[in-house]
Amino acid sequence: MSVSKEMPRTLLDKVWDDHVVAPASDGAPAIIAIDLHLIHEVTSPQAFDVLRARGLKVRRPDRTLATMDHATPTDFVRESGRVVIHDPAAAAQIRALEENCRAAGITLYGLDSERQGIVHVMGPEVGATHPGRTIVCGDSHTSTHGAFGALAFGIGTSEVGYVLATQCLLLEKPKRMAVTFDGALPRGVTAKDMILALIAKIGAGGATGHVIEYRGSAIDALSMEERMTLCNMAVEAGGRTGIIAPDDTTFAWLKGRPFAPKGAAWYEAVARWRDLRTDPGASFDAEVTIDVSMLSPMITWGTSPGMASPVPATVPDLAGDASVEKALRYMNLTPGEPLVGRPVDVVFVGSCTNGRLSDLRQAASVLKGRRVSPRVRMLVVPGSQAVRRAAEDEGLDRVFREAGAEWREAGCSMCLGMNADRLTPGQYSVSTSNRNFEGRQGPGGRTLLASPLTAAASAVKGAVADVREMLQ
């Protein structure tokens, strides 16, 4: 039975109710209209193949936006104006996306486009992400767009095909979880530390089956980029997605962007968007509260984002927990061992989690006037070409280069080991990305997730470091 509009509703309820084409019935999920479909080179080729095999066309190419990011190199070499792709599999994926978008009339921001970038950086950046929209992509971190008050889901390749053909999706309505962050962030603590602290508290499956609504005074104080970091990693807590009610910060960030409403339509849109808030008295299925003033910089020590501790802590002793014991064997860590001082080989700053301009500013603030340790390879990878240009305009690229870091082109890079940027077996990486599974950054690689501040401090020290010791 649908929720009465007379009853108090959560933000999830409001966006869901506005997009129901057919309600759930007789064990069948609801049919939900999709406002925006984002695609990239990895999860779309098979979907287009299915459409061709069935004689179907893309229903709404105007509601589909494409870029390439996963398999793309971040050390571009151009010949005759074209980026050279040496990996045959990556080249085939990129060529397929170009051909499929051309045939379907879909806008593509390819490697030669000034708007190319990681799909979940590019989408908000061009203003395609609006409050109240439903957004899907064949990528689990589509949850990023929830920072704008959108209901945004990662979907599988088969579902990519369904959305291309119908502009709708079969969905079970998730449960509702409220996560309230109150207080003021201490020095050296960032949005990345907030989400790692939450996942450590509730576990990597703690939000399974739920949409996490982030709320509270600490959320209100965050920038849009910081809010995107929180929503990006809602899936690492097991959540279906994350969402934040839009406010003046949201509207100021969106205004004037290419795909944002213009003129009178802008003011009409903002008036609608202001209603996208949870009603007083609306109920949640689960609630969690965290006082951010008590947080420290966080870092993972295992092979799940939930295996995280404050940087100054020691590796926990959880004898008898088979998953922890397996993780520590893989990571070659011992219970009681200090995390600070653990030597690292690679530092990666980038990804759809922390590859935005504010993230690069944080890393640069630590590196300015310092040098990356000679034992460390540091890669700094902007989340989009627009981020890259903005960073270069501010001189951040010079800070990175002078410190001894590599300044790269935009792409997913070392986040997922799907391109040339990979760890070698046994290497330790402090990474600003979102997943630390076995082999995530390359077979046998060992990943410690952290904020850009902690990553930069660790690059300088050549080992896991507490950035607060380096902040003025």
Report the CATH number that the domain containing residue 77 is assigned in CATH. 3.30.499.10
Instruction: Give the integer Cα–Cα distance in Å for 359 and 383.
Output: 10
Domain boundary among 233, 268, 293: 293
Instruction: Report CA 151 to chain centroid distance, whole Å.
Output: 14
SS3 309: strand
Percentage helix, strand, coil for the chain under 3-state DSSP, each rounded to 5: 35, 20, 45
Tens of pLDDT along the chain (472 residues) come to 444 557 999 999 999 999 999 999 988 999 999 999 999 999 999 999 999 999 999 999 999 999 999 999 898 777 766 777 888 888 999 999 999 999 999 999 999 999 999 999 999 999 999 999 999 999 999 999 999 999 999 999 999 999 999 999 999 999 999 999 999 999 999 999 999 999 999 999 999 999 999 999 999 999 999 999 999 999 999 999 999 999 999 999 999 999 999 999 999 999 999 999 999 999 999 999 999 999 999 999 999 999 999 999 999 998 889 999 999 999 999 999 999 999 999 999 999 999 999 999 999 999 999 999 999 999 999 999 999 999 999 999 999 999 999 999 999 999 998 888 999 999 999 999 999 999 999 999 999 999 999 999 999 999 999 999 999 6
| CB atoms inside a 10 Å sphere around CB 59 | 18
- Same domain assignment for residues 89 and 159: yes
Segment 121-173, tens digit of pLDDT: 999 999 999 999 999 999 999 999 999 999 999 999 999 999 999 999 999 99
The string of DSSP letters for 61-102 reads GGGEEEE--SS--SS--EETTEE----HHHHHHHHHHHHHHH
202 CB-near residues (< 8 Å, 6+ apart) = 237, 288, 306
**How many separate domains does the chain show?**
3
The answer to whether residue 6 sits within a structural domain is: no
Long-range Cβ contact pairs of 387-393 (< 8 A, separation 24 or more): 387/117, 387/121, 387/125, 387/355, 387/356, 387/357, 387/360, 389/114, 390/357, 391/357, 391/360
Instruction: Give the integer Cα–Cα distance in Å for 315 and 305.
Output: 14
- Same domain assignment for residues 38 and 121: yes
Strands (E), 332-425: 346-349, 377-380, 406-407
Amino acid at position 282, single letter? A
Radius of gyration of the chain (CA): 22
- Same domain assignment for residues 238 and 103: no
The answer to whether residue 206 sits within a structural domain is: yes
- Same domain assignment for residues 203 and 240: yes
- Same domain assignment for residues 338 and 237: no
Instruction: Give the integer Cα–Cα distance in Å for 35 and 27.
Output: 25
- Same domain assignment for residues 152 and 182: no
**Dihedral of the CA atoms 90, 69, 79, 407 (nearest 10)?**
-120
Report the CATH number that the domain containing residue 280 is assigned in CATH. 3.40.1060.10
What pLDDT was estimated at residue 419? 87
Instruction: Give the integer Cα–Cα distance in Å for 398 and 263.
Output: 39
What pLDDT was estimated at residue 472? 67
Domain boundary among 293, 315, 340: 293
Q: Is the separation of the CB atoms in 468 and 376 below 8 Å?
A: no
Backbone torsion region of residue 216, taken as left when φ is above 0, otherwise alpha when ψ lies between -120 and 50, otherwise beta:
left
| CB atoms inside a 10 Å sphere around CB 404 | 17
- Same domain assignment for residues 342 and 459: yes
Segment 165-187, tens digit of pLDDT: 999 999 999 999 999 999 999 99
- Same domain assignment for residues 363 and 310: yes
- Same domain assignment for residues 179 and 277: yes
The answer to whether residue 74 sits within a structural domain is: yes
What pLDDT was estimated at residue 59? 97
Q: Taking the model in full, what pTM does it have? A: 0.96
SS3 338: strand
What pLDDT was estimated at residue 6? 76
Domain boundary among 137, 171, 205: 171
The first and second tokens of residue 140, run together, are 């689990």
Residue 90: give the domain boundaries: 11-171
Three-state secondary structure readout of 129-186: CCCCCEEEECCHHHHHHHHHCCEEEECCHHHHHHHHHHCEEEECCCEEEEEEEECCCC
The answer to whether residue 267 sits within a structural domain is: yes
The answer to whether residue 5 sits within a structural domain is: no
- Same domain assignment for residues 159 and 238: no
- Same domain assignment for residues 311 and 454: yes
- Same domain assignment for residues 380 and 271: no
319 CB-near residues (< 8 Å, 6+ apart) = 325, 335
The answer to whether residue 1 sits within a structural domain is: no
- What residues are paired with 117 via a beta bridge? 384
